[in-house]
Amino acid sequence: MDITLIKRDKKRSDLRNELGISPSTLAKMSNGEYVALDVIGLICEYLDCNVEEVVEFVKIKN
């Protein structure tokens, strides 16, 4: 997501201020924790990008 923010000349604080996304949700994204799909959708709409520009699927090894 950070690369997409940079490309769009945006910062995490813009997501917090303009979309009302909590700092804890942004921290979860940074730490690879669960973030609700509706929040990811809001970010994608705001940044005018596809979901794969915001999230990455990493397969968990068993």
Whether 1 has a pLDDT exceeding 80, the answer reads no
pLDDT at position 46 is 93
Distance of CA 48 to the CA centre of its chain: 12
pTM over 0.85: no
pLDDT at position 17 is 94
pLDDT, tens digit (0-9, with 9 covering 90-100), for 31-62? 888 899 999 999 999 999 999 998 888 888 87
**Alpha-carbon distances, residue 20 vs 7, 16, 44, 45, 47 (angstroms):** 21, 5, 14, 14, 14
Residue ranges of domains in the chain: 2-53
